[in-house]
Chains A and B, each alone.
Chain A
Amino acid sequence: MSRRSPTVKNPIVRRLILWIGLPLLVVYSVVAVTSYFQNKKASIDRMNAYLLELTSHHAAELDSRFGAISRTPAIVAETIEGMKALTEERLYDLMERRLAADPDLFGMSVSFEPYTLDPKRAAFSARVVRTPGGLEKVDSQADSGYGTADWYLIPKLLDGPYWTEPLFSAGGGNELSCSFSHPLRFKGKFVGIVTADISLAQLEKTLQAVDVFAGYAFIIGRSGTFIAYPNPDFVLRESPFSLAETLSRPDLRALGKDMIAGKQGIAALADFHTGEKNWLVYAPISATRWSFAAVIPEANVLAPVRAQLYRQIVLMVGGLFIILLGIVATSYGITNPLRKLTAFAGDISAGNLDVRIEGLKRRDEIQRLAEVFNQTVADLNQYIKDFTAATKAKEAVESELRIARQIQESLLPRVFPAFPERPEFDLYAKNEPAKDVAGDFYDFFFLDEDQLAVLIADVSGKGVPAALFMAVNRTLMKTVCQKGVGPAASIRAANEILSRDNDACMFTTMFLAVFNVKTGDLVYANAGHNPPYIVSRDRTIRVLPSMGDAFLGVDAEAAYHEGRARLDPGDLLVLYTDGVTEAVTPEGDFFGEERFVRRVTDHRDEDLASIWGRLSAELDDFQKGNRFDDITVVLLKRSE
């Protein structure tokens, strides 16, 4: 018996977590992961679309500015083409008026093919620039090399307008500028170029104002060179292509190709300097064939996406935590009372029946179980108290019975040889009660010098009532026998007395004999008792037959008859009660008269006490210690 198991192999809390918490965790995780990727994809798609739109918007703004500027040379070219009398003064006047009207321009020029405007002049280029002091004409005579300059040559070769690649102008400080060139035609024939020059100094500021997720913006020209970039060292020096070589980054080359091809898109880009993960969103500036790009740290782009995912994760983890808490609380709610019940049962098995399960404060099956436990223990406690009281009472009775038996034993003569001064016979008697107090009894006493009264009786019932009745019987028999009226008369007299006032309806079987020790004559009467035997010296057996007389104490008027027999020297008279012959095995076999008589016969030559000893041992053996009735035997042997 273990009062309390120290560890439980498969605790309920673990099973609950295993079967509820774990599946929930799995389902939760699957949902979370799925929604993470769905949300991420959706968010990134939205972000992509937004960034493309934003970038395109910035690119379009720049595009419209350059587009507006590009119209000026076209208009000037058209005006010149329409002039009837084209003079140098009118050209300057035209350019000055345009520059006054358009503050975005810092210069204009009109340049002609050799000998076109003036047949004497191989080169003619009129130019007006905006200076802090106002508009200024530049004498172009010296600048005869313009024929191979890109701003002149390329649109001429292309026979169409052309944005030059930006460069740092020599005149206006270190200022980035570029020109838009438009061919000039007389009657369809190419005669020169009109340019509008703009400063790109504002470009840097424009880009700095572009705020796309705290990233930065840059512009590359049509051959990839950085035109505007936060690091001024890159401007007009590096390009995605040169960086691709220097940094061994082929991805930059592919990106550069897409950008100068006028595409728009989004690319992953490790930062040129830090290697940080960036997104590069680019869109074309169509007018100049440049490309605008915004570089945004991926962390900035994904920040809103991540924030949402974090919220989800926090909700999920929180929810799961609450569920697990609930599971643990519930399982402890179940197991704690169970632990109390276990401890309680342990207390009970240790013998403490005064315990009660208290403080569960529940309204569920466990409370009900606790109540049943409490009731059971209370009942058990009461039963044990009652049982203890009953046992004490029984012990008291048994103690009294032991005393009664001692008294009873003292009533029966039990010192043998009973008459050592009489050599004519030997006598042995023994009574072994089934209960502590016997209902059988025997007695013997001399009526005179030679007459020995011997009797054996069996009182109906057992225990104390039988013993009391027996005591009355015995005393009565002693009294009536002393009158010397013979066995039948004595029994009749005793029967009369016993039958009167016998409210308890107790009765007695009795065999009474008067034995003349001198002659061996035997006179007897039998009140319903087992007929005794006489075993002769030659082992012949005689039965002293019953005369059909009634028990004592039943009928006061009953008549009793006398029988006569004779014990020859060496004859053994055997008296017994039915406790001997009706001794029974646990299987239900009776000991029987035949077996009894044979045993006595077999040992008849032995000492009487020894005969009893053998018989008693065999009976004990036969009954396997279960004695249901008193056993009484009286042996009388006439000496030889």
Chain B
Amino acid sequence: MRKLRIKRTVLAFLLLAGIAASAPSVQSDKLVVLQVQWVPQAQFAGYIMAREKGIFAAEGLDVDVRFSDENSSPITELFSGRADFCTAWLSQTLTLDRPVVNICQVIQKSTLMLVARKESGIRKPEDMNGRKVAIWGGDFSIQPLAFFRKYGIKPVIVPQSYNIDAFLVGACDVASAMYYNEFNKIYLSGVDQEDLVPFFYSDYGLNFPEDGIYCLRETQVNDPELCRKMRRAILKGWEYAFAHPGETLDVLMDYCAGYRVRTNRAQQKWMLEAIRQAVIFGSGEDPAGWGVLRKDDFLRVAEELIRQGFVKTVPTFEDFVKD
């Protein structure tokens, strides 16, 4: 039932992009496509601001930030050649058939989480035993399954749609949420945070870095300078967005209106701050330390992927990370 109007717009973009990006190798004066995972929202503020404020242009790049929906995937776009770069989770990019490289690890901390209502009596992981726990499919299920295994929990796992209505109406006891998104949507549906019990995977030894910037390995090999420029511009874009939240929100709300995203400023404001916390996690306020994929994070994710049987082997850290 979730069919957004954005679909047609995106398709039109994709068509144009396909024509524009037909050449296998990307020159710096050519259009560079950055495909992000979802519709416009503060999760992508850094990229949007890098474009809007001419930060990409300052690096000599003409970057188009493209958005996705439930029917499109950044990795698909990347593999098809319609996108040169994309945002993706480490847990996804370590399981791919084709080699990709991480040129920038933007989000250092798991924002994926579980949330329960206090009134459900669930206070600790073990309390979820036998309770209805809603999790998203695909990559989103890796951390919860690792979590259940780690704590020896056997919940009743139920699927979850792209929102938290089921949780709000009590159809499940625990739901998955992105801290920057659904967790606040619960609040914006009239449930106070003190009535909720959050479970952050990072608090349970399961921190999975999330949004990173990826490209095909050949893109990096052919044009490492392009990758370095992208990385610099993207980090500067985030720096700008965090330093100018008001302006960034204005731009975001314009984007949301343009893409008919049904959101509100309060939600985007929360999201921008939550993303900021996840970006500076482990490195602090100084942008010089941002964007680095740490080896222990890499190994943790790789280990869990292998354990859960998603992959048998993973690339070496050195092959995978190029900055």
Mark A residues whose CB is within 8 Å of B. Answer: 146-151, 153-154, 157-158, 162, 164-165, 167-170, 174, 179, 222-225, 236-239, 241-246, 253, 256-257, 260
Q: Closest residue to A247 on the B side, CB-wise?
A: B266
Nearest-neighbour CB distance to chain A for B155, whole angstroms, equals 14
For B1-23 the 0/1 string (1 means CB < 8 A from A) is: 11111010000000000000000
Q: Do B2 and A167 touch across chains, with their CB atoms under 8 A apart?
A: yes
Among B2, B3, B158, contact of A157 (Cβ-Cβ < 8 Å) = B158
Collect the chain A residues with CB atoms within 8 Å of residue B265's CB.
242, 246
Bound complex: CA A187 to CA B318 (Å) = 59
Contacts of B3 in A (CB 8 A): 169-170
B158-175 to A contact mask, C-beta < 8 Å, 1/0 = 111101011011111000
Bound CA span A149–B296, Å: 37
B267 within 8 A of A: yes
What would 6 A/B residue contacts be, using CB atoms closer than 8 Å? A223-B190, A241-B188, A243-B266, A244-B266, A245-B270, A246-B269
Q: Which residues from chain B contact A253 at a C-beta distance below 8 Å?
A: 190
- A164, B266: Cα distance in complex, Å: 24
CA distance A224 to B264 in the complex (A): 13
| Interchain CB contact (< 8 A) of A154 among B169, B190, B267 | B169
A150-B7 Cα distance, complex, nearest whole Å: 20
Q: How far is the CA of A165 from the CA of B163 in the complex (A)?
A: 11
B51 at the interface (CB under 8 A from A): no
Q: How near does chain B come to A405, taking the closest CB pair, in angstroms?
A: 128
Q: Is A154 a contact partner of B264 (Cβ separation < 8 A)?
A: no
Find out whether the CB atom of A154 lies under 8 angstroms from the CB atom of B171. Answer: yes
User: Closest residue to A173 on the B side, CB-wise?
Assistant: B5
B contact face: mostly helix, strand, loop, or mixed: loop
Whether B66 sits at the interface, judged by CB under 8 Å, is: no
Within 8 A of A (CB), among B241-284: 262-267, 269-270
Give A147 to B266 CA distance when docked, in angstroms: 31
Given contacts A147-B159, A167-B1, contact A242 B264 (CB under 8 A): yes
Q: How far is the CA of A241 from the CA of B4 in the complex (A)?
A: 24
A149-B1, A167-B1 known; A237 vs B262 contact (CB < 8 Å): yes
Contact of B266 among A148, A165, A170, A246 (CB under 8 A): A246
- Residues from chain B with a CB closer than 8 A to the CB of A236 are 262
Q: Is B189 an interface residue (CB 8 A)?
A: yes
Query: Are A149 and B172 in contact, with the CB atoms below 8 A?
Result: no
- How far apart are the CA atoms of A158 and B267 in the complex, in Å? 28
> What is the bound-complex CA distance between A236 and B269, given in angstroms?
18
- Tell me the chain B residues, 113-160 only, with Cβ under 8 Å from chain A: 132, 137, 158-160
A237-B264, A238-B264 known; A164+B190 contact, CB < 8 A: no
With contacts A149-B1, A149-B161, A170-B3 known, is A154 near B188, CB below 8 A? no
Across the two chains, which residue of chain B brings its CB closest to A171?
Answer: B3
Question: Known interface pairs A170-B4, A236-B262. Does A157 touch B165 (Cβ–Cβ under 8 Å)?
Answer: no
Measured CA separation A236–B171 after assembly (Å): 22
Cα distance A244–B184 in the bound complex, in angstroms: 13
- Using Cβ atoms and an 8 Å threshold, which residues of chain A touch B188? 224, 239, 241-242, 245
Q: Are A223 and B165 in contact (CB under 8 A)?
A: yes
- B115–chain A nearest beta-carbon distance, Å: 15
Is B204 located at the chain interface by the 8 A CB criterion? no
Cβ contact within 8 Å between A157 and B264: no
Which of B158, B159, B171, B269 has most A Cβ within 10 Å? Answer: B171
* Cα distance A236–B264 in the bound complex, in angstroms: 9
Given contacts A149-B1, A224-B189, contact A245 B269 (CB under 8 A): yes
Tell which of A149, A151, A157, A169 has the most Cβ of chain B within 10 Å. A157
Contact A168–B5 (Cβ < 8 Å): yes
Give the residues in chain B near A170, CB-CB below 8 Å. 3-5, 7
Q: In the assembled complex, how far is the CB of residue B141 from the closest CB belonging to chain A, in whole angstroms?
A: 12
In the complex, chain A residues whose CB is within 8 Å of the CB of B269: 245-246
Residue B187 is within 8 A (CB to CB) of chain A in the complex: yes
Q: Which residue of A lies closest to B186 (CB)?
A: A223
Tell me whether A174 and B5 are in contact (CB under 8 A): yes
Given A158-B169, A237-B262, 9 additional A-B pairs, CB 8 A? A158-B170, A179-B1, A222-B168, A237-B264, A239-B189, A239-B264, A242-B267, A246-B265, A260-B189
Q: Across the two chains, which residue of chain A brings its CB closest to B4?
A: A170
Residues in A whose Cβ lies below 8 Å from that of B270: 245
Name the distance in Å between B263's Cβ and chain A's nearest Cβ: 6
**Structural contact, A223 and B189, CB atoms closer than 8 A:** yes
> A38 → chain B, closest Cβ, in Å?
38
Contact A157/B132 with A170-B4, A224-B188 known, Cβ cut-off 8 Å: yes
Please measure, in the bound complex, the distance between the C-alpha atom of A146 and the C-alpha atom of B166, giving whole angstroms.
14
- A150 with B1: CB separation less than 8 A: yes
Residues on the B chain within 8 Å of A164, using CB: 1, 165
B266 lies within 8 A of A242 (CB):
yes
Q: Bound state CA distance, A223 and B267, in angstroms?
A: 14
**Assembled-state Cα–Cα distance A257/B160 (Å):** 25
User: Shortest 9 CB-CB distances between A and B: which pairs?
Assistant: A245-B266, A223-B189, A157-B171, A170-B3, A242-B264, A242-B266, A148-B159, A241-B188, A236-B262
A43 CA / B269 CA spacing, docked (Å): 44
Tell me the bound Cα distance from A256 to B192 in angstroms.
12
- List residues 169-225 of chain B with CB under 8 A from any CB of chain A: 169-172, 187-190
Chain A positions within 8 Å of B5 at CB level: 168, 170, 174
Interface centre among A146, A153, A168, A224 (most CB of B within 10 A): A153
What residues of B have a CB within 8 angstroms of the CB of A167 in the complex?
1-2
Bound complex: CA A513 to CA B161 (Å): 172
The distance in angstroms between the C-alpha atoms of A154 and B169, with both chains bound, is 8
Which B residues are CB-close (under 8 A) to A225? 189
In the complex, what residue of chain B is closest to A226 when comparing beta carbons? B264
Contacts A238-B264, A241-B187, A241-B189: A149 and B170 contacting too (C-beta < 8 A)? no
A203 CA / B1 CA spacing, docked (Å): 21
Interfacial chain A residues near B266, Cβ < 8 Å: 241-246
* Given known contacts A148-B159, A170-B4, A241 and B190 CB-to-CB distance under 8 angstroms: yes
**A149 to B158 alpha-carbon distance, docked (Å):** 12
Chain B residues with Cβ below 8 Å from A162 are 169
Interface contact B169-A222, CB-CB below 8 Å? yes
User: Which residues of chain B come closer than 8 Å to A151, judged between CB atoms?
Assistant: 1
With contacts A153-B171, A237-B264, A246-B265 taken as known, whether A165 is within 8 angstroms of B165 at the C-beta atoms is yes
A174 to B267, CA, bound (A): 23
A260 touches B169 (CB 8 A): no
Contact call B165/A154, Cβ cutoff below 8 A? yes
A291 to B43, CA, bound (A): 32
- Is A257 a contact partner of B190 (Cβ separation < 8 A)? yes
CA distance A157 to B189 in the complex (A): 20
Contacts of B137 in A (CB 8 A): 148
Q: Which residues of A have CB within 8 Å of B171?
A: 153-154, 157-158
Query: For B163, what are the chain A residues with a Cβ–Cβ distance below 8 Å?
Result: 150
Contacting residues, chain B, for A153 (C-beta < 8 A): 158-161, 166, 171
Closest to B171 in A: A157
Q: A148-B159, A239-B188, A242-B265 are in contact. Are A223 and B170 (CB under 8 A)?
A: no
Closest A residue to B156 by CB, please name it: A157
Alpha-carbon gap, A249 to B137, bound state (A): 37
Interface hub of B4, B160, B267 (most chain A Cβ within 10 A): B267
Min CB distance, B189 to chain A, in Å?
A: 4
Residue of B nearest to A143 (CB): B1
Instruction: Given the known inter-chain contacts A148-B160, A150-B1, please indicate yes or no for A157 contacting B190, CB distance below 8 A.
Output: no
Smallest CB–CB gap between B277 and chain A, Å?
18
Residue of B1, B7, B170 with most chain A CB atoms under a 10 A cut-off:
B1
**Complex Cα spacing A148 to B172, Å:** 13
Specify which chain B residues have a CB less than 8 angstroms from the CB of A239 in the assembled complex. Answer: 188-190, 264
Among A147, A154, A236, find the residue whose CB has the most chain B CB atoms closer than 10 A: A154
Chain B residue nearest in CB terms to A259: B190
Question: For the complex, what is the distance from the CA of A600 to the CA of B189, rounded to whole Å?
Answer: 143
Q: Within the assembled complex, what's the spacing in Å between the Cα atoms of A154 and B266? A: 27
B190 touches A260 (CB 8 A): yes
Cβ-defined contact, A157 with B168, below 8 A: no
- Chain A residue at smallest Cβ distance from B265: A246
Once the chains are docked, how many angstroms separate the CA of A602 from the CA of B221?
A: 174
